[in-house]
Amino acid sequence: MEEIYNRELSWLQFNDRVLQEAMDESVPLMQRLRFLGIYSNNQDEFIKVRIANLIRYNCLKNKEQMKMTGGYTPAELLPLINQKVQSSQNVFRATYEKIINEMELKGIYMINETMLSEKQKEFALNYFTSVVSRRLVPIVIRKSMELPFLPDGKIYLAVKMTYRKTPRYAIIQIPESRDCPRFVELPSEEDGRIDIIFLDDIIRLFLNDVFFMFPYDEITANTFKIVRDAELTLDDDVSKSLTQKMCQGISKREKGKPVRLVYDRDMPLDVLNTIARKFGFKSSEQIEAGGRYHLMRDLMKFPVVRPDLENSNKKPLLHPLIKPFESFLKVIKKRDILLSYPYQTFNHLIDLLREAAVDPKVQAINITLYREASHSKVINALINAAKNGKHVIALVELKARFDEEQNLEYTTLLQDGGVKVIHSPDELKVHSKLILIERNEGGKSTKGYIYVGTGNFNEDTTGIYSDFGYFSYNQIIVEDARKLFDFLQNPHKHYSFKKLMVSPFYMRKQIEGIIENEIKNARKGLNSYFYGKFNSLTDEKIIKLLYKASKYGVKVRLLVRGACCLEAGIKGLSENIEVRSIIDKYLEHARMIICCNDDNPQCHIMSADLMTRNLDRRVEVGVIIEDRKIHDTLIDYFKIEWNDNVKARNIVPPYENKYVRHTGEPYPFRSQDELYKYFENLKYEP
């Protein structure tokens, strides 16, 4: 029996849990629609990254010897994945239709171009003329010419014009943007009724105006989308800067090889064959029949037309020890602080950076940046600090997948603002979430203030991502951070760290040491457990070590939101291991480890998941929590999530995503709601 579950299949099981949220009638109706958008976005990224990789591996000469997790060859795995993708897509379509029907019961109608009243047609004509038409660039397909490059991440209309039984084909890109959104609200003639139309259908309605110069007896249009390989390959030319290489690599990726064509199942066969041939699709497994509409990730941006049918998230809490318009640095100097987003406000971190930017005693700020907000207050604070004479160093990770272009733009913005920008060392990606503030507080040396986080410095996502942020004045941790920032600027140097867990140097060894210590204690007959919360668990060495721990009686409890290659609950292998996954209104993104340590529990938070890439090929940072109040808070946090009996699923073979339901306990217990109450009532001694 293979002891490791396949990573790709496990990830698809995770996305099915997202789809479950769209199917859950206890979730607010419009949020269910947005979960369909999240599912669709996830699925598109999976195809352009994971399936594209498998196709690439399957083309290698030694593909027979190549094994994926779970023991599959790429050739064996691809049909299983395609079958699963298609099966889930069928559920997606049925769920979408059900939600649309339920929306109609609430007075919200999705209508197409054949259903418009005269008043709505007049509105649509004005909208098409003033907003849409000038953004359209029709491409007429000719046999003798190659199809112009069409980027993925877009929706296209395949147009067929028939004149005296002779067809002519054309393609129109749907020009969705902030000024030309995918969904358009139409005027309604009934009180309480809301009519929404896809932009696609407005264009269908006025095809005659687009192609007025061609004679035809009949004209039809069907949507399709293409998904391209998202692999980003960098030039080896040593004479080029990393920025130059990234710009060229992004350009090449945008023109990556098509790996999947998804089309409207009502598309005429001759149109489908023409499109498939022009894109070079030869395998039927790469061509998928879909519904009338594609790129359904846009459902995440569906207009808010009925606030009462949306999630009612509570306002983020202020930390009890942090007062408005008072020094946050003074608070950190007195005691360590833990923030738990989104239950507590991310604005505290923004305020800290703003304070540091103008504090005359602050001399320097060092920060690692991975994914930032589109209009980042963090970036603005760093530039303000530089303008105030602070020495600001920002490591901007250019290799953050799908955020490379924005990070290139921020590189220029920061440099123009006087910030020293550095980039990650070759062959490493910097995924740590770290800030070091240096302050002159008298004496010969400066004192440091440190922040270690599990999530990005991104105010756009902290309202929906569940993460930790830890602040400390501990000068041993500060010295570790100084060493790490020195390494990032001088990667030929090597350091040891006293308090920080740092990959790719020591984090793997430290985590393995924690598990081995629990095994040692279990063999002595002492209490032993290993609790963990991660986004993904796919590293085979860690998994096999956890199997070993289970065999010796260590109680292992894991909260894993996404892919999990560990097979829990198998007799003789992992019977002492339980794995659960929580999918709810907030994205579970925090990472932590809690171990028994001979009844002297230890807690760590970190930026890393238990994946080989995080432990061996990325710069990640974790920290042991020594403050007793924060330590106890993290243990309570894990217990609350573990006791969830509303949104938690058991992740055990045969991977059916069954909900956790406790008998004999108060019901319901929804951990994200309970965590808000917990932090709302959390008290601190003066």
The catalytic residues are: 431
Cα(549)–Cα(40) distance, integer angstroms: 38
- Our measurement of the distance from residue 36's CA atom to the centroid of its chain's CA atoms, rounded to an integer in Å, reads 15
Planar angle of CA 13, 20, 290, nearest 5 degrees = 80
What kind and span of H or E run contains 8? helix 7-23
Backbone angles phi, psi at 565, to 5 degrees: -90, -5
Show the DSSP H helices in 388-440 as ranges.
404-416
DSSP string, 48-78: IIIIHHHHHHHTSTTTTT---TTS--HHHHH
Q: Give the C-alpha separation, 238 to 545, whole Å.
A: 41
- Measured from the Cβ of residue 567, the count of other Cβ atoms closer than 10 Å reads 23
**Residue 274: closest CA among 389, 132, 140:** 140
Distances (CA, A) of 588 to 198, 217, 318, 403, 530: 32, 55, 20, 21, 19
Question: Residue 427, by phi and psi: left (phi above 0), alpha (psi -120 to 50) or beta?
Answer: left
Are 266 and 280 in contact by the 8 Å Cβ rule? The answer is no
Quick check: bond before 342 cis, omega within 30?
yes
533: enclosing H helix or E strand: strand 529-534
Please give the angle made by the CA atoms of 263, 13 and 621, to the nearest 5 degrees.
Answer: 110
Buried b (16+ CB within 10 A) or exposed e, 284-312: ebbbbebbebbbbbbbeebeebeeebeee
Cα–Cα distance measured from residue 50 to residue 609, given in angstroms and rounded to the nearest whole number: 18
Of 221, 136, 229, 228, nearest to 177 (Cα)?
A: 136
Tokens of 275: 């499109």
CB environment 569-594: b (16+ within 10 A), e (fewer): bbeebbebbbbbbbbbbbbbbbbbbb
> Residue 397 and residue 391: Cα distance in Å, rounded?
19
Give yes or no for a contact between 497 and 517, defined as CB atoms under 8 angstroms apart. Answer: no
- Give the H/E segment covering residue 156: strand 156-163
> What residues contact residue 624 under an 8 Å CB cut-off, 6+ apart?
499, 501, 602, 603, 604
Number of H helices and number of E strands within the chain? 19, 27
In the block, which residue shows the tokens 């941006």?
Answer: 301
Q: What is the DSSP letter of 47?
A: I
